[in-house]
Structure 1
């Protein structure tokens, strides 16, 4: 099959290849590929009727439902650029992204997880569409309800090199950066992932990875569009609900972060569910212990478990093979895929080069030049090693990111928020091992003299200003941070320091509700 070079062409091909095949299964909503294309074209026509088309940018901030699939593909079909926004962001974080993206439109969830995302925003783009998720809400002047979206659309004037999407990813400077990709690149990585996974029209793909993330959008929605696999979205990860969906929907493919599989294995009702349909798991974002891989085979029934490595700027860079041994899958992240070359640079930093490296960061040529050198190598900030036969092992990070429940957390971003607290003189955040989430944050705080600051107050402040996965799980007050002669904080020493007894520490308590970890 010839790979389509634009997303509209890929959707057209799917609808023509198998018009009656099931494209989306979301509760009572069942869409064939022909019906999905019809709804996508109607959404594109709606956008066009409001002057939104080629060159415009439209954001989607909504959980995994069929609405996201229609809206996301509809934006691309209209020739506009898709800007996925995390539903886990606070209003401050969301507004920052919306402002910098200079949007023409926004598709946003209504009340979700008890919070009205729309009500929290005091600045909106010209066109806003509200998606019903939990319950009906009162009308908002100037906001279009999803039920009122309709239109007709002609042909999609989209080229392979048009910018398809801008995915915002935090950086070590503490401010998010918008990684831009072209249609050919988005489809290129989706096709490579689908090929390694052996995805086919007979697969039923449970997408617990959030659509706002590249693994839910490109390795999820777009991979299914290319192969005809059925998209089964789950809006909130819950082990019992996931097990029920696997049984009811006869799920065959379930990619996720290691923590998802641990939760499924530990779920009290696992043994009562029929999981015999499962064939493929793809994981990554953290170490994958051999005993976990073994139990994924024996207790969850997966025929194949693969590991992968990627980042927003390249999506899927390496992936293991179904023929790899358990030991290789557990200790390595596979070989290069999607046309990538890989080599190790200074300090064994992982460098990537290939046709699917991002176009660059939105409005940030300096950051782009720092990330992609003149020879075209993307400097990932991750440290690794390569085996004799080309398998990649991730060993450390140059950037201080840690992975909590499958989500990258950038300490610099958390520290930037802490710096705005009037009682905090200095801070440093590090990631520490956690049996359930992989890693969690600990904040070391230097308070202003006489501030009377408590750990509970620090955590409350973080919860007000950061998405929950970024909130540190513990706080320790220290008189000063360890630094080298140039003034850099020696975080290695902080990671190696055991927590003292209760006096100056507090923990964040039980885990906040997880919208869903991702791979």
Structure 2
């Protein structure tokens, strides 16, 4: 409790306020708990006139957001416990639908806007959706009750909490098959929030640009933190780097919630003055040197959270961590354990690669369609290989299924990616393992160059040969105009062309 109190005080959450509003704030949390509906109510009780959201249609205050979500909950044709799909781009309408569904006690299912029609239909069946709320640009699967997010309608406000709170379901970002639904737990108090803001200095009332999609675990976490902090969240339906810089400047956003490729795209734009103090990223690995290059331009602002849909968070790298070791995933925050274990479940020595396991109070509750969770002594397998150095910093060496064995040597493609990403000619790069008759597997590098840059395949190989062991040199080097990515910016390596240089 001392950690929570100190962190809340440092971040302005215990600042004095009108006694009647403070009383209403804590009464709301007592009644509605710490889910989306409760976090909104505590914010509206304490700061009703503060702007909660800003999108293309303008600002919405906390009192207005509470009124709309309460009346929307009263109009939804679903019952507590039903699952409601939400398919939309970042907007106030999407947030209203998400909170309205949660207010009712139904389970919001956050749908990836990059799903193909076939995947959308399959997810709808697998998640047994009672209703799909969607932006007009998306066509619902045949036979599924649906409504446009902007035209749901309002009823009598719902003012009492449901008997059982709804559970938000986030789809995993699997690159093959039908994405699985991971049930997110409802926080039991302030400690999960404090674990994050202890390391990432988000403060009460801050203006934050949530650039990451809200259907993504990190974008959703950004919304949760914004409500808890009584912050103002700025939303844009699509990410464009020039528009992102304009948004930061125009709306005086001190923080940005993003995925790493967004920082990469911003760096391709001319530098401009922005009031950015925090650029918090998650969702995929930071390309080599990106954090330091971004901070050289915009200051000591980059915070990198390593986690997953299932594990929530595992570690957080601060600007100081990233300056000291640019490829680190940081250190576990308060209340979190990260261990590197061998194949028998035993901890490996510091600096030795192992399977990464994480433990915290926000581990997911399971997949909606069933399926095992790999746990060891209460710690959840992340699916990553990595190590912890002598300073306690976590490093992710790569996915378990990405590591290749070439001529008897273990090779991590991510290590080669970091080396190549540091080249000034390289805009982005992906390295994968491909079958090899002699060595079992070999590396293939797919390279995207900056406009006007020149680089040969042999120069790529020479650079890796000078930096890493000979078995890490990619035999195949393929130059592409761009890499295939999903809606959250993650590289879809299965879609890389099957060709050789």
TM-score, structure 2 as length reference: 0.73
2:171 counterpart of 1:168:
yes
Could you say if the C-alpha distance between residues 94 and 209 of structure 1 is closer, same or farther in structure 2, counting changes exceeding 3 Å?
same
Q: 2:291 aligns with which of 276, 290, 293?
A: 293
Instruction: Give the alignment of 1:84-483 within 5 angstroms.
Output: 84-111=110-137, 117-118=138-139, 121-124=141-144, 126=145, 128-131=146-149, 145-146=151-152, 148-157=153-162, 159=164, 162=165, 164-171=167-174, 174-184=177-187, 189-218=192-221, 220-267=222-269, 270-271=270-271, 273-275=272-274, 277-284=275-282, 285-290=284-289, 292-300=290-298, 302-321=299-318, 324=321, 326-328=323-325, 330-337=326-333, 339-346=335-342, 348-364=354-370, 367-369=371-373, 371-373=374-376, 375-400=377-402, 433=417, 435=421, 438-440=428-430, 481-482=435-436
- Note closer, same or farther for the CA distance 1:443–1:377 as it changes in structure 2 (3 Å cut): closer
Task: Show the counterpart of 1:30.
Answer: 59
1:215–1:518 Cα contact (<8 Å) kept: no
Q: Take 1:158 and 1:234, find their aligned partners in 2: how far apart are those partners? A: 34
Q: Structure 1, unaligned stretches of length 5 or more?
A: 112-116, 133-144, 403-429, 445-480
Q: Matched residues in 2 for 1:274 and 1:250: separation? A: 11
Q: Would the aligned equivalents of 1:206 and 1:232 in 2 still touch at CA under 8 Å? A: yes
Q: Displacement of 1:86 after TM fit?
A: 0.4
User: What whole-Å deviation, never above 9, does each CA across 1:239-275 have from its counterpart, x for those lacking one?
Assistant: 11111111111111013233222221221xx34x431
Calculate the TM-score normalised by the size of structure 1.
Answer: 0.71
2:83 touches 2:106 (CA, 8 Å); kept in 1? yes
Q: Give the structure 1 partner of residue 489 of structure 2.
A: 517
Q: CA deviation at 1:70?
A: 0.7
- SS of the equivalent of 1:334 reads coil
Instruction: For 2:159 and 2:166, locate their aligned partners in 1 and report how far apart those are by CA, in whole Å.
Output: 20
Q: Larger relative CO (CA 8 A, sep 6+): 1 or 2?
A: 1
**C-alpha separation in 1, matches of 2:427 and 2:99:** 32
In 1, are the aligned partners of 2:69 and 2:99 still within 8 Å (CA)?
yes
Q: For 2:330 and 2:482, how far apart are their aligned partners in 1?
A: 35
- Aligned pairs, number: 409
The answer to whether the Cα contact below 8 Å between 1:278 and 1:303 also exists between their aligned partners in 2 is no
Taking a change above 3 Å as real, the CA distance of residues 175 and 317 of structure 1, as seen in their structure-2 partners, is same
Cα deviations across residues 185-220 of structure 1 (Å, max 9, x unaligned)?
7986455333432222342111110000010012x1
2: distance between equivalents of 1:332 and 1:181?
Answer: 26
Where do 5+ consecutive residues of structure 2 fail to align? 1-13, 15-25, 344-353, 405-412, 446-472, 492-501
Measured in 2, the distance between the counterparts of 1:513 and 1:178 equals: 21
Conserved? CA contact 2:216–2:488, under 8 Å: no
Q: CA deviation at 1:170?
A: 4.5
CA shift digits 1:423-459 (9 cap, x unpaired): xxxxxxx999485775548797xxxxxxxxxxxxxxx
Q: Alpha carbon RMSD of aligned pairs, Å?
A: 3.3
Indicate how the Cα distance of structure 1 residues 71 and 338 shifts in structure 2: closer, same or farther if over 3 A, else same.
Answer: farther
Aligned with 1:184: secondary structure? coil
Shift of the 513–177 alpha-carbon distance from structure 1 to 2, 3 Å rule, reads: closer
Contact kept in structure 1, 2:444 and 2:476, CA below 8 Å: no
| 1:311 to partner: Cα distance | 0.4
